[in-house]
Amino acid sequence: MSKKMISFFASHWGIIFAGAAIGIIAPLLQKFGNPPNMGVCVACFERDIAGALGLHRAGVVQYIRPEIIGFVLGSMAAALLFREFRSRAGSAPLVRFVLGIFAMIGALTFLGCPWRALLRLAGGDLNAIIGLIGLGAGIAVGVVFLKSGYNLGRSLKTYTAVGLIMPLFVVGLLLLLIFHPQFSAGGPILFSAKGPGSLHAPLLISLAAGLIIGFLAQRTRFCTMGAARDVILMGDTHLLSGVIALVVIAFIANMVLGQVKFGFEMQPVAHSNYLWNFMGMSLAGMAFTLGGGCPGRQLILSGEGDSDAGIFVLGMIVGAGVSHNFSLAGSPDSLVDGVLKVGGVSQYGMIAVILGIVVCTLIGLTMREKH
């Protein structure tokens, strides 16, 4: 690859380009069939995969999302092409698994990962503002831990095969998606017949979109959590410029495609319970910061050989199972006999979010190197 191309991706314009690309692709995926304001959502799509595998039985959110497969394989392609694929492992994997579980519980309380929060905002869903404020608060708390010496220890270089496990795992998912075997009566592989899980763009379009985003995000290190963290930690707006590009371009694309509806109530696959939108994303923000990246970034790292990020991803998939099996996930606003019923979380969900904040706080406080 030419030096010019490498320096473009590392530049300010490179990160803006990546954000803008996601900003165009996500509304288009929605137009092609993905759920509203969910052109791309890492948490929701991993949750759908968990459902398809039978790890939870919420019938409306089960599908093997090709976008997730594409993120990992696109990232691997970029890493191999630019000679950046490095197998590494061994930085507190179990802690990362737990962080992944609570990151998902937090994200599903709000109903979306940071990427979807931005896309919801770009579709006029004003609850996203509250979610993003919560995310920022969680990241700020995480930064306090980082500043006081928190870290999960060093990873070590390891066998190439270790770094290939996550890419091979998603290839396996792709085969399950294509052949759709049924392993038991009424059992997996499960695909939703109604609800958000039943809404999806054609397989090849979704896969191609995932590959493009995975490739670009690997080259530019696009990360929503990192964007806020770098601003809070050192006033660096490099990653933030990509995030802003995503929102602006997605908003314009949504306007052109007629996909904007401003308001708080009855937004698609969302609830207007302000407190728990805030709390859910605060937990997610803490877990992402302590885990070293937003869910999208964890998939990208998994593709370039980082098996610790792979453990975080698997934690998120298991977390989705926990969320739905234990009725922790947020439920969207609905109309009952023409009257608005504000959605939100059950008391179990509230307890889980608070438990998650306590666990993240303990992780942040106890895993510190004294300077």
Partner 1 sequence: MIKTIDARGLSCPQPVILANKAIDEGTFPIEVFVDTVTARENVRRMSSNKGLQVVIEEVNEEFKLTLSK
Residues that bind partner 1 (CB under 8 A): 10, 82, 84, 86, 88, 91, 146-147, 151-157, 221, 226, 229-230, 233-234, 236, 238, 292-293, 308
In the complex, the smallest distance separating the C-beta of residue 71 from partner 1, rounded to whole angstroms, is 16
Handedness of CA 104, 332, 177, 202 (dihedral sign): negative
By beta-carbon proximity to partner 1, the closer residue of 108 and 311 is 311
Q: For 120-168, give the secondary structure using H, E and C.
A: HHHCCECHHHHHHHHHHHHHHHHHHHHHCCECCCCCEECCHHHHHHHHH
Helix, strand, coil shares, percent, the chain, to 5: 65, 5, 30
CB of 197 to partner 1, least distance (A): 33
Least distance to partner 1 from the beta carbon of 74, Å? 16
Q: Cβ of residue 221: shortest distance to partner 1, in angstroms? A: 5
What is the DSSP secondary structure assignment for residue 280, as one 8-state letter? H
DSSP single-letter state for residue 368: B
- Rank residues 29 and 309 by Cβ distance to partner 1 and give the closer one: 309
By beta-carbon proximity to partner 1, the closer residue of 9 and 276 is 9
Instruction: Identify the three-state secondary structure at position 199.
Output: coil
- Sort 251 into a burial class: Cβ within 10 Å, 0-12 / 13-18 / 19+: buried
Token pair belonging to 252:
């314009």
And the tokens for 321? 């199972």
**Minimum distance from residue 151 beta carbon to partner 1 (Å):** 5
Residue number, 200 or 219, with CB nearest to partner 1: 219
Tell me the C-alpha distance between 104 and 101, whole Å: 5
Identity of the residue, 74 or 349, whose beta carbon is nearer to partner 1 in the bound complex: 74
Residue 82 or 169 having the CB closest to partner 1: 82
Nearer to partner 1, 234 or 339 (CB): 234
Residue for token digits 């969302």? 270
Q: Considering the complex, what minimum distance in angstroms separates the CB of residue 93 from partner 1?
A: 12
Q: How far is the CB of 291 from partner 1 (least distance, A)?
A: 9
176 neighbors 189 (Cβ within 8 angstroms): yes
